[in-house]
Amino acid sequence: MATKVQITSKFWTRYRQLVRTEMIPYQWKVLNDIAGITIEKERLNDEGIPSEKSHAIENFKIAAKRAKGTHYGWTFQDSDVYKWLEAVAYSLREKMDPQLNDKALEVIDLIADAQEDDGYLDTFYSILGIEHRYQSLAGSHELYCMGHFIEAAVAYFEATENEKVLTVAKKAADNVDANFGSEEGKIHGYDGHEEIEIGLLRLYHVTGEERYLNLAKYFLMERGKHPDFFREQAAKYNGPDALKGIEKSPDTYFQNHKPILEQDTAEGHAVRVVYMCTALADLAYSTGDKELYAACVRLWDDITKRRMYITGGIGSTVIGESFTLDYDLPNDTMYCETCAAIGLIFFAKQMLKIEAKAEYAEVMERALYNCALAGMALDGKHFFYVNPLQVDPKKSKKDPTKSHVKPVRPSWLGCACCPPNLARLIASLDDYVYTINGDSILINQYIASSTAIEDAGTIKVEQITDYPWDDSVSIRIENNCDHDKKIGVRIPGWADGYRLTVNGKEEDAILSEGYAYIDVARKSKVIIDLYLEVSIKRYYANTAVSEDVGKVAIGRGPFIYCLEGVDNGEYLNSISLPKDAKLTYKWTGDLLNGVGVIEGKAKRAASRDTSLYSTIRPDTSDVDIKFIPYYAWANRGENEMQVWVREWEA
């Protein structure tokens, strides 16, 4: 089924416009180390470019013999260019921009020139020693980078029908296929960072070439069969430094501690886990393999029911950017990488294709509106790598265990995977609104939009809403097909109740796995109106989450809220929210580009003197407090922030 979604949402149109007019041009300048970027003074070097230079485009020029020099940056530096290209592809799909397209074509030509004759594509080894390729897979990221290029190539081909980019991608995939597999003489291994599997499956979907699906399956099924693989490669390796020592990481870091079908907990590097799961779910969908899907469900349940933050963030420790154990969710030393939340959204999207369960869309929404969106400032030019739930700027500066937690977003990052990843997510948001599942069209995200779905005729779907701030959605369906269709209307888990009407009449729809199904007859038009009961929620963590016992988090609709020092003063940890405190919601159009805030009365504790310890209970006073949506924090300067607040019982 072919589908194209046009997003008209005020909330998301602003972000997508930011991607087009700010993020993509800004990131282009960064990738090219162009002077004159407006960023914080302390982040500039003498030439006026970020102190952490990218050199990414220059690496390609050197590999293509267009320039002289040597490789600079991480082994995965190429992927920043590929994710930028993918974001450009989605932006062009939404609206063709000849000048932007010219830049994309320029980059594609450069990539093609940098590609080796046999299809190998990686500037690190093309520049520093092609004879060492595929010999240090724990840290080389060769397959990871090629996976990102294949994703970008497929996206650009689908947006523009450009054959050249697809040819380069197939040539790269063919090189991987020629070098990896179970056959004698091939490498019996896989990349340290999952991603090639996602790219190969996307290439399979657009070309129909079974070899790409089989290769993706090989990489997934081979992982964990031979945990010493990376260490054995490292013992023989004598090439350029490809993150030397990373092979000494625990096997769980690479998810190769056991075969994938035997894994029942999310272990190791959080981004790698959800990229692995995204590919596994796509493979399960593509093959109809129930055993693969069961493995996906086990990992999904462990992540979302025992290891996910209330903001949709994942990754509990900076050590290895990893999961730790069930219910271990510290608020101020966690990791919650932006890329990990994005990867969780990718995973959810693939799971929805297999089974129409609203919980997948619920987690997608939670991660999207909270952790992922918090990864970018409202100006589209400053970014978080780590997304904490509690910040004290003084501790970030002086406590080594919290030095990775930043109180304000930097303009760029030395390891810059997150900004272009966020750009490609927002630019492709139209892919997450609907899912075709059997004979049903699932409405996963309430985003004002219109689409025409081709399925032996055309089904037009239009959403009219001011969601996420509004509590109602009008869905207009025009079924011009020769067969009936079902529309699955998601009922958000956070809603206190709902009312559904079809053509103005109350509808007692069949509710299944969180979706209310409405039958739309062939050659008919219907208007479905959904009215949601939205209230301010108090969320409590499982008592096994030691950090949050006795605390409460505030939410409304899809948003989780937080306290910020600029509104509530210093020492946010001294604030307690009375159990019976009345909280009120108010729209403030002049704050943070327009947000709904939550206000109320709270208690603030204050010691009577400067003694470190005392037998006298601190005094308390009544104070006014204001919560803002979590995604909007750190846009008004450096200050404290806190999601979980102590709950006061007199």
How many Cβ atoms are within 10 Å of 615's Cβ, its own excluded? 5
Q: Cα separation of 330 and 319, whole Å?
A: 13
Q: Cα separation of 312 and 367, whole Å?
A: 4
Please report how the helices 290-306 and 270-287 are oriented relative to each other, as an axis angle in degrees rounded to 10.
150
Task: Of 60, 76, 184, give the one whose Cα is nearest residue 111.
Answer: 60
Q: Is 336 noted as a catalytic residue in this protein?
A: no
Q: Cα separation of 237 and 134, whole Å?
A: 10
Please report how the helices 24-31 and 78-94 are oriented relative to each other, as an axis angle in degrees rounded to 10.
150
Q: Cα separation of 447 and 12, whole Å?
A: 8
DSSP H or E stretch at residue 207? helix 196-207
Q: Exposed, middle or buried, 160 (CB in 10 Å: 0-12/13-18/19+)? A: middle
Q: Indicate the residue type of 550.
A: G
Beta bridge partners of 441: 436, 487
CA-CA-CA-CA torsion for 171, 175, 181, 186, nearest 10 degrees?
A: 160
Catalytic residue, from 336, 371, 417, 418: name it: 417
Q: Cα separation of 441 and 520, whole Å?
A: 11
Q: Which two tokens stand for residue 244?
A: 């030397």
Q: Cα separation of 371 and 329, whole Å?
A: 14
Q: Is 321 noted as a catalytic residue in this protein?
A: yes
User: Is residue 94 classed as helix, strand or coil in its secondary structure?
Assistant: helix
Task: Of 413, 336, 476, give the one whose Cα is nearest residue 30.
Answer: 413
Query: Which are the contacts of 41, defined by CB distance < 8 A and separation ≥ 6?
Result: none
Q: Is the peptide bond before 629 cis (omega within 30 degrees of 0)?
A: no
User: Is residue 214 classed as helix, strand or coil in its secondary structure?
Assistant: helix
Q: What angle do CA 397, 402, 408 make, to 5 degrees?
A: 60
Query: Are the C-beta atoms of residues 529 and 311 closer than 8 Å to each other?
Result: no
Taking the mean position of all CA atoms in its chain, how far away is CA 179?
31
* Backbone dihedral angles phi then psi of residue 460, each to the nearest 5 degrees: -100, 135
Catalytic residue, from 194, 321, 337, 640: name it: 321
Residue keyed to tokens 């490292």? 234
Q: Cα separation of 314 and 308, whole Å?
A: 5
CA distances from 476 to 46, 216, 529 (A): 56, 39, 9
Q: Indicate the residue type of 330.
A: P
Q: Which two tokens stand for residue 432?
A: 């997450």
Q: Render 627-650 in DSSP notation, one character per residue.
A: EEEGGGTTSSSS--EESSEEEE--
Tell me 245's DSSP state. Answer: T
Q: Which two tokens stand for residue 239?
A: 């090439």
Q: Cα separation of 196 and 213, whole Å?
A: 11
Please report how the helices 56-63 and 78-94 are oriented relative to each other, as an axis angle in degrees rounded to 10.
110
Beta bridge partners of 526: 477
| Helix residue ranges, H only, 180-269 | 196-207, 210-222, 229-236
Q: Cα separation of 280 and 292, whole Å?
A: 7
Catalytic machinery residues: 321, 417
